[in-house]
Amino acid sequence: MLRLCLLLLSILATTSVASRDSRPDGNVPSVQATALPGEARETLSLIKRGGPFPYRKDGSVFGNFERRLPSQPRGYYREFTVPTPGARDRGARRIVAGLGSAGNVRYSGEYYYTDDHYFRFRKILE
């Protein structure tokens, strides 16, 4: 019975890791901006306009500690809240923006969407 439990735990752990969209090698699947929820498209528009942002933490540094986005120096990525209808808090949806060669998220063109609080990312294609 113990062996069966350990085997099942091993299978579940492997399945969970294998099913992630974002991978540690920096290869991130993509999504067309037009396929994003309306709230995400609005947040992307706010980023490009430079705000104003509705949440105090918008624009704060995203650490990429799990390495689900391409490796960059600390401070390169910034996170922005995508409102979730009906949520009492910030919810789980975010857009993470890279500074790009311009050094500014407004013009970088490097945007990633997550709807599960940083577990999976998709690069936004415009």
CATH for 59: 3.10.450.30
Q: How many domains does the chain have?
A: 1
3-class DSSP state of 111: strand
pLDDT (0 to 100) of residue 15: 36
| Whole-model pTM over 0.85 | no
Question: Can you give the residue range of the structural domain that contains 81?
Answer: 2-125
Q: List, by residue number, the catalytic residues.
A: 79, 117
Higher pLDDT pick, 7 / 83: 83
Q: Are 28 and 121 in contact (CB under 8 A)?
A: yes
Segment 16-20 mean pLDDT:
39
For residue 118, the number of C-alpha atoms closer than 13 Å in the C-beta half-sphere is 15
Q: Are 112 and 122 in contact (CB under 8 A)?
A: yes
